[in-house]
């Protein structure tokens, strides 16, 4: 199977996590003072909300064993359809409207890589960072863009778009008035990339590459500027004193100082003096001048745009060499913005970019960006014995199988300068630290390039790169692992001849194997003619030489002074028949010269053609819009392949013999067929397969009460026993029209294969009945999403305006009437609805072109619904004879919902009708309180009930408009399922519950957004170091506390920082302040073993003017903690307070002059409750200015008091204190805990 590019896009500082090194964000070693570091705000390990560039929202919940991925279309989304592909934890979500833009290359696929966006912190309310390339140097960005950083030399601009402005930004990109089309963005915009994140990836190593011999010859890089783009530099370090000519900051950090440690380590490897070690740890080119660009922040990560700005500055600031020990963890084909910038700046300035290959080995095709650039000198890592490091990324390059990496250098256990107050790597002493990675190998090559540039000041990037590669020591690992070999400084200085390399790419195992010829050019930099003898061979990496596989067009080459000459290099695949990678060397010797060119070849394994034909239920071919996944059943590491159908409904793929599966969704227009072929055996012959939709069965759901479909999601997936992770393909159809079928399948031979279907249905928003002469005609109305609603029943006179053209509407008086319109196109519907709303229509009815349901979506204040053709025609016919009234019953908010999920893992069954009996449903009475006195102040709110099948461990759901201050019944089929609700206010804080089972036939009550809200750990999460459970191990504490949660602790805020929130979190140890973060999501690292008293303090305030209940909290948790006896994570013994206030009305208020009972229950975060030793409850009726202590009744774990708000009070505030026998204590104040009704 062909290789796939991974969707993850993080650029990392390429220091490998091996041999005792530690993650850069948390450091290593044990400093004397614990360090408090703010973690990226998380919703929890189980809930993430991602706003796509299209304005649509994706919500990921659960874990890898029980997960939902849900799609919430933006109100302006034309179709509300999206494709979801999952391979283990890798998730991509592609809305329907961007398919063609992705195919044309106008949009970066990383914009829809959900797990990548979450990993980089571009979720949960974060801005979306973008790089926009223009057709001209001065690109103009659409409205909605934030602060812009121009990248003129790249014809690009970087910006960040806030979630609330993404819709406007996307509308500008898609404006047809500005030249946008299905495959093209608006005029002036060529492409949009994600501004992805990048992260940072000597005593024996410097002599290993021969640098001291160069120093002895007077070559130490003097007069050469080397730019180091990294985490900054500690200029106070003795090894770097006087070495830095300029340091510039391109990040969001305060300065260019290295507070991480990676950049200082790299800079000293290039040009450190070794002063702190008496010269022992001297860098490769100690005479070079350093230009330091801080492109990674103090956590060791950065944005593509920071790196691009740093590259541009370095190349135009006189740097001969640029060292970049950073890159993406995902493989790149060299067409990403960083790689393209390397090629462009190299061609423009002649600067040599020396770049780390990456630390994602030992797999093949793992070289990331920007090391994948053609012009980059890409560096692999070897140990002190010149053996390839296991972590070092390998070639060939993704896509074209070009030769990468280019060269190797020492990168294992490299000792270099340690920045002050940092612990990156494994500290050796106060001045030095040891680290491993291609990050450490790269500055060795950059220093070698500086030495070579000193010897040849007129040389530019091609000459420097060629000479270093041609003189490298050839190693045994092969060209696709180590490039031309390990850098050899003396050899590079001693040579006057260098050569280009020759990559023959990939040779198919079958088909044409005719000999292939490439020209290799040898360059003579001497002032005299050179005669060279040539020899060459080709060897299977890890195997023997392949006789006759490589031949030369000549055995002698004469190079004139300062000139060059070519030799034909021919590879005969028939003499290199074994599958694998081959490395060849063309060696040139003579006249005191030795140089070599590297030849590389990848020979594929024998493959067979797999031909797949897809047929729809009506016999027509399925289209290219189908989602079809081909997956190897024996290899979890091999990513699934997406097959694309041609016009004839046929797709082909070349696969090696083995076991495969094909599954997905056939499609033609709005019709879908979910299918799967669970087991496909491919032997030594081609295979032809058919998915025949003519045998498919309609997918249907029935509920005990009349209901209307809100959303339908179809998912199909496969996992064999040999695979550690499963893969699935999902279509979120929303309320799309058309038909949905499933094609019955065979049972899988092993593992699981099947489908999951999720339905969300609701009480009919609109019921329309026409009064005809022979009685009432039920029009079978289907409401349009995002159209207007009113509560109640109205009797409207009907009027028919045909197709809804401007003339037809003008010809009738539509004001206050139900207007009948024939369906034509989506565009005409939008135009007609706009005209009719302006003309005062009371409601709009669309008649379908077929006798079936007509769902739709249109943002308008007028109720809009669709009806089947036969019903609409009956009404229209009656109108030709006499006036007709229509009784319209509308619900602004649904009185009931149904959530259904059906999962199958033993094949796709023939029976596709799902109709659970009434007793199989749980009845959930849901009250959603309003923190605003006027619920309409909470705008654009949506919620979703997300269902997971316990059988497939997968599921999803839909998000649809909802209102605060409402009650409804939710019925979920409870057998073998788990459910979760998520509420997403348009201008406020979301609230979520954990996935949980419900009991069939049982009624329960849930109260959301009910006062008293305050920070607490959820009662449903007790697993240390996951979700929202504060935990510690032998060295570190991890703190994640939701800032706002429901009184009983079951439902909590989905995003840690909501619009209008102002938070501060402080950590104390034995009374001493350790650090402060802007929210209670923190790492406290370097903990001492001794027992100590810790205190967490959190101040939180909501400034949204409409948020009028539980507006401000002040909480302090005090507890004792010591180093545990093992290295496992343990729950911290925080004490929490839960609140049960009787008599709270749905508007988050209590009545004045009425007695209300308040019970405060104290619980430990680890559920190991200890009895109370102290407790108190105080109340304030004036916003916390004065306090009183009512009579209290106490038990071992509760305090109960009575509240009676006086007339004229605006709110009730609470102050609670508690301490248990274990010594854990809480002090919590909630200002305006609950409003007092007028």
Residues 691, 677: Cα–Cα separation, whole Å: 8
Q: Note every long-range contact of 137-140, with CB atoms under 8 Å and residues 24 or more positions apart, other chains counting.
A: 139/188, 139/189, 140/188
CB count in 10 Å sphere of residue 882: 8
Q: Note every long-range contact of 144-150, with CB atoms under 8 Å and residues 24 or more positions apart, other chains counting.
A: 144/168, 144/169, 144/170, 144/171, 144/172, 145/169, 149/305, 149/309
- With residue 1217 as reference, give the H or E element that holds it: strand 1211-1220
CB count in 10 Å sphere of residue 1032: 22
Structure tokens at 261: 């440690």
- Choose, from 108, 195, 230, 298, the residue flagged as catalytic: 230
Angstrom CA distances, 126 to 165, 266, 660, stand at 12, 31, 40
DSSP designation for 1087? -
DSSP designation for 42? -
DSSP 3-state assignment of 303?
strand
- Asked if 357 and 369 touch (Cβ cutoff 8 Å), the reply is no
Specify whether the backbone of 373 is left (phi greater than 0), alpha (psi in -120 to 50) or beta: beta
DSSP designation for 605? P
Structure tokens at 1073: 């302040």
- Choose, from 237, 260, 262, 596, the residue flagged as catalytic: 262
Strands 66-72 and 954-955: parallel
Q: What does the CA dihedral 282, 288, 290, 295 come to, rounded to 10 degrees? A: -80
CA–chain centroid gap for 195, Å, is 12
Look up 439 and say whether it is catalytic: yes
Q: What does the CA dihedral 1051, 1057, 1058, 1064 come to, rounded to 10 degrees? A: 100
- With residue 216 as reference, give the H or E element that holds it: helix 211-216
* β-bridge partners, 601: 582
CB count in 10 Å sphere of residue 367: 35
DSSP designation for 919? G
Residues 285, 281: Cα–Cα separation, whole Å: 12
Residues 308, 154: Cα–Cα separation, whole Å: 9
- Choose, from 325, 372, 439, 1224, the residue flagged as catalytic: 439
Cis before 405 (ω within 30): yes
Q: Which residue is associated with the tokens 């007077």?
A: 218
Cβ burial of 193 (10 Å; 0-12, 13-18, 19+) is buried
Angstrom CA distances, 711 to 73, 80, 764, 922, 1172, stand at 11, 10, 13, 20, 49
Residues 424, 26: Cα–Cα separation, whole Å: 9
CB count in 10 Å sphere of residue 387: 13
Residues 302, 311: Cα–Cα separation, whole Å: 13
Structure tokens at 163: 């979630």
CB count in 10 Å sphere of residue 700: 13
Residues 501, 378: Cα–Cα separation, whole Å: 14
Cis before 396 (ω within 30): yes
Residues 1047, 1015: Cα–Cα separation, whole Å: 10
- Asked if 547 and 538 touch (Cβ cutoff 8 Å), the reply is no
Residue positions annotated with a catalytic role: 230, 262, 439
């Amino acid at each position: 199977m062909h290789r796939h590019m991974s969707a993850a896009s993080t650029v990392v500082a390429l220091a490998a996590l091996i041999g005792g090194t530690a993650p850069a964000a948390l450091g290593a070693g044990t400093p004397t003072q614990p360090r408090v570091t703010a973690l990226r705000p998380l919703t929890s390990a189980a809930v993430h909300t991602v706003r796509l560039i299209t304005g649509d929202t994706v919500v990921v919940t659960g874990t890898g064993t029980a997960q939902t991925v849900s799609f919430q279309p933006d109100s302006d989304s034309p179709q509300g359809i999206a494709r979801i592909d999952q391979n283990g934890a890798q998730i991509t979500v592609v809305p329907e409207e961007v398919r063609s833009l992705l195919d044309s290359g106008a949009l970066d696929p990383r914009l829809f890589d959900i797990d990548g966006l979450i990993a980089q912190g571009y979720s949960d309310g974060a801005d979306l960072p973008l790089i926009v390339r223009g057709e001209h140097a001065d690109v103009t960005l659409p409205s909605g863009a934030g602060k812009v950083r121009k990248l003129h030399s790249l014809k690009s601009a970087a910006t960040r778009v806030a979630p609330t402005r993404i819709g406007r930004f996307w509308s500008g990109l898609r404006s047809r008035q500005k030249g946008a089309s299905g495959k093209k963005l608006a005029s002036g915009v060529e492409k949009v990339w994600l501004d992805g994140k990048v992260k940072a990836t000597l005593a024996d190593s410097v002599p290993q590459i021969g640098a001291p011999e160069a120093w002895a010859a007077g070559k130490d890089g003097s007069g050469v500027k080397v730019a180091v783009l990294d985490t900054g530099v500690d200029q106070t370090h003795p090894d770097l004193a006087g070495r830095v000519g300029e340091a510039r900051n391109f990040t969001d950090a305060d300065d260019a100082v290295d507070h991480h440690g990676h950049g200082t380590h790299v800079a000293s490897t290039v040009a450190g003096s070794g002063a702190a070690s008496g010269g022992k740890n001297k860098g490769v080119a100690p005479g070079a001048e350093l230009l330091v660009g801080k492109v990674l922040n103090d956590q060791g990560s950065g944005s593509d745009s920071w790196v691009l700005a740093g590259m541009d500055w370095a190349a135009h600031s006189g740097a001969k060499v640029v060292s970049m020990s950073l890159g993406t963890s995902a493989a790149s084909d060299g067409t990403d913005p960083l790689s393209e910038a390397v090629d462009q700046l190299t061609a423009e300035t002649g600067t040599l970019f020396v770049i780390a290959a990456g630390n994602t080995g030992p797999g093949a095709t793992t070289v990331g960006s920007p090391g994948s650039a053609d012009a980059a000198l890409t560096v692999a890592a070897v140990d002190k014995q010149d053996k390839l490091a296991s972590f070092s990324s390998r070639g060939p390059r993704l896509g074209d199988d070009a030769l990468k990496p280019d060269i190797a250098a020492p990168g294992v256990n490299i000792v270099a300068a340690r920045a002050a107050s940092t612990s990156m790597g494994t500290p050796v002493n106060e001045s030095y630290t040891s680290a491993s990675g291609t990050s450490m190998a790269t500055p060795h090559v950059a220093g070698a390039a500086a030495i070579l540039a000193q010897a040849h000041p007129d040389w530019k990037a091609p000459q420097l790169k060629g000479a270093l590669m041609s003189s490298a020591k050839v190693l045994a690992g092969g060209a696709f692992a180590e490039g031309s070999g390990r850098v050899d400084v003396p050899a590079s200085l001693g040579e006057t001849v260098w050569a280009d390399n020759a990559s023959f790419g990939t040779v198919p195992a079958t088909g044409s194997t005719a000999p292939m010829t490439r020209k290799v050019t040898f360059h003579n930099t001497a002032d005299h003619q050179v005669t060279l003898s040539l020899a060459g061979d080709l060897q299977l990496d890890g195997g023997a030489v392949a006789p006759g596989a490589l031949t030369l067009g000549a055995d002698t080459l004469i190079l004139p002074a300062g000139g060059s000459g070519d030799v034909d290099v021919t590879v005969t695949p028939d003499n290199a028949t074994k599958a694998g990678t081959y490395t060849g060397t063309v060696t040139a010797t003579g006249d005191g010269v030795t140089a070599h060119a590297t030849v590389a070849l990848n020979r594929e394994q024998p493959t067979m053609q797999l031909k797949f034909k897809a047929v729809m239920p009506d016999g027509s071919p399925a289209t290219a819009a189908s989602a079809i996944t081909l997956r190897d059943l024996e290899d979890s590491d091999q990513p699934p392949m997406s097959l694309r159908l041609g016009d004839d409904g046929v797709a082909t793929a070349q696969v090696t013999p083995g076991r495969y599966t094909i599954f997905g969704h056939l499609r033609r227009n709005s019709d879908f067929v979910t299918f799967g072929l669970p087991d496909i055996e491919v032997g030594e012959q081609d295979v032809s397969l058919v998915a025949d939709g003519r045998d498919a069965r309609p997918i249907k759901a029935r509920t005990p009460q009349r209901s209307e479909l809100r959303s339908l999601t179809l998912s199909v997936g496969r996992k064999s026993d040999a695979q550690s992770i499963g893969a699935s393909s999902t279509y979120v159809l929303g309320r799309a029209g058309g038909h949905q079928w499933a094609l019955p399948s065979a049972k899988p031979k092993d593992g699981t294969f099947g489908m999951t279907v999720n339905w969300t249905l609701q009480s009919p928003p609109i019921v329309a009945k026409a009064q005809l002469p022979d009685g009432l005609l039920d029009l079978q109305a289907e409401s349009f999403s995002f159209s207007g609603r009113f509560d109640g029943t109205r009797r409207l006179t009907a009027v028919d305006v045909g197709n809804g053209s401007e003339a037809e509407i003008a010809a009738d008086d539509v004001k206050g009437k139900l207007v009948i319109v024939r369906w034509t196109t989506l565009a005409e519907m939008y135009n007609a609805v706009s005209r009719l709303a302006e003309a005062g229509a009371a409601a709009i009815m669309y008649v379908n072109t077929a006798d079936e349901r007509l769902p739709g979506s249109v943002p308008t204040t007028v109720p809009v619904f669709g009806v089947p053709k036969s019903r609409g025609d009956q009404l229209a016919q009656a109108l030709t004879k006499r006036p007709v009234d229509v009784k319209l019953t509308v619900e602004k908010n649904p009185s009931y919902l149904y959530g259904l999920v059906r999962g199958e893992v033993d094949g796709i069954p023939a029976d596709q009708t799902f109709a659970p009996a009434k007793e199989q449903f749980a009845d959930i009475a849901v009250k959603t309180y309003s923190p605003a006195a006027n619920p309409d102040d909470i705008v654009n709110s949506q919620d979703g009930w997300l269902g997971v099948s316990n059988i497939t461990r997968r599921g999803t759901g839909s998000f649809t408009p909802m209102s605060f201050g409402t009650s409804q019944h939710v019925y979920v089929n409870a057998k073998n399922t788990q459910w979760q609700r998520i509420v997403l206010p348009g201008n406020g804080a979301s609230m979520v519950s954990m996935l949980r089972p419900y009991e069939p036939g049982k009624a329960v009550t849930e109260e959301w957004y009910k006062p008293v809200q305050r920070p607490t750990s959820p009662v449903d999460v007790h697993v240390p170091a996951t979700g929202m459970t504060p935990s510690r191990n032998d060295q570190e504490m991890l703190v994640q506390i939701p800032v706002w949660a429901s009184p009983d602790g079951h439902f909590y805020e989905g995003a840690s920082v909501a619009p209008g929130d102002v938070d501060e979190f402080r950590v104390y140890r034995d009374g001493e302040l350790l650090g402060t973060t802007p929210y209670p999501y923190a790492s406290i690292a370097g903990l001492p073993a001794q027992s100590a008293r810790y205190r967490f303090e959190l101040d939180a305030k909501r400034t949204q003017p409409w948020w009028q209940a539980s507006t401000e909290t002040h909480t302090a948790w005090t507890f004792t903690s010591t180093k545990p006896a093992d290295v496992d994570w343990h729950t911290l013994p925080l004490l929490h307070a839960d609140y049960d206030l009787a008599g709270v009305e749905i508007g988050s208020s209590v009545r004045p002059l009425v007695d209300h009972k308040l019970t405060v229950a104290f619980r430990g975060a680890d559920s190991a409750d200890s009895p109370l030793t102290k407790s108190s409850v105080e109340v304030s009726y004036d916003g916390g200015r004065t306090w009183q202590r009512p009579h209290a009744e106490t038990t071992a774990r509760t305090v109960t008091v009575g509240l009676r708000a006086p007339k004229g009070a605006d709110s009730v505030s609470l102050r609670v204190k508690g301490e248990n026998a274990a010594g854990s204590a809480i002090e919590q104040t909630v200002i305006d805990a609950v409003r007092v009704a007028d």
